[in-house]
Amino acid sequence: MTTTYVDLRSDTVTRPTPSMRRAMAEAEVGDDVFGEDPTVCLLEEETATLLGKEAALLVPSGCMGNEIAVSVHTRAGDSILLDRYCHIVQVEARAVTEMLGRRFLLRDGDRGRLRPEEVDAAAPHGEPGQAPLGLVEVENTHNWASGAIYPLERLEAVALAARARSLPVHLDGARLWNASAATGIAPASYAACADSVMVCGNSCGRSHPRAPAPRRAARLRSCEGETARRVVCGDGGPHDRPGRDRDEHRHRKCDHTPREASGVRPRGRLRGSPRRSLRRAGAVPCGDAPRRGRRRGRTGDRGGPGRGPIGAGPLTDPSEPQPGTLYLVGTPIGNVEDLSPRARRILGAVDLIAAEDTRHTQGLLTRFAIRRPLVSYHDHNKVRRTPEVIEKLKSGLSVAIVSDAGSPGISDPAFTLVRAAVAAGIPLVPIPGPSSALCALEVSGLPTDRFSFEGFLPRRSSRRRARIEELREDPRTLIFFESPHRLRECLRDLAESLGERPASISRELTKKFEETRRGTLPSLLEWVESEPPRGEFVVVVAGAPRADAGLSREGVSENEGEEEA
- Percent of all residues in the chain with a pLDDT value above 70, rounded to a whole number: 71
What is the pLDDT at residue 271? 39
Q: Find the mean pLDDT for residues 63-82.
A: 91
Helix (H, G, I), strand (E, B) or coil at 491: helix
- Strands of 196-199's sheet in order across: 103-107, 79-83, 133-139, 169-173, 196-199
Range in 453-457, 498-502, 558-562 the model is least confident about:
558-562
CA angle 463, 467, 471 (to 5 degrees): 165
Q: Find the mean pLDDT for residues 98-119.
A: 89
Q: Find the mean pLDDT for residues 283-289.
A: 33
pLDDT band at 246 (very low <50, low <70, confident <90, very high): low
Reported as a single tens digit per residue, the pLDDT across 55-71 is 888 888 888 889 999 99
What is the pLDDT at residue 279? 39
What is the pLDDT at residue 485? 87
Report whether 543 contacts 484 (CB < 8 A). no
Cα–Cα distance measured from residue 299 to residue 50, given in angstroms and rounded to the nearest whole number = 38
Preceding omega of 227 cis (within 30 degrees of 0): no
Report whether 171 contacts 191 (CB < 8 A). yes
pLDDT band at 49 (very low <50, low <70, confident <90, very high): confident
Q: Find the mean pLDDT for residues 269-292.
A: 37
What is the pLDDT at residue 330? 94
Instruction: Determine the number of helices (DSSP H) and then strands (DSSP E) in the chain.
Output: 21, 15
Neighbour count for residue 527 (Cβ, 10 Å): 15
What is the pLDDT at residue 283? 30
Cα–Cα distance measured from residue 423 to residue 249, given in angstroms and rounded to the nearest whole number = 29
What is the pLDDT at residue 129? 58
E-strand ranges in 217-339 read 326-329
Handedness of CA 178, 184, 186, 190 (dihedral sign): negative
Q: Find the mean pLDDT for residues 68-83.
A: 92
Domains by residue range for the chain, with CATH:
13-241 (3.40.640.10), 326-434 (3.40.1010.10), 437-549 (3.30.950.10)
pLDDT band at 365 (very low <50, low <70, confident <90, very high): very high
Neighbour count for residue 242 (Cβ, 10 Å): 17
pLDDT band at 206 (very low <50, low <70, confident <90, very high): very low
- Percent of all residues in the chain with a pLDDT value above 90, rounded to a whole number: 44
Report whether 312 contacts 321 (CB < 8 A). no
Handedness of CA 113, 117, 123, 129 (dihedral sign): negative
Report whether 355 contacts 375 (CB < 8 A). yes
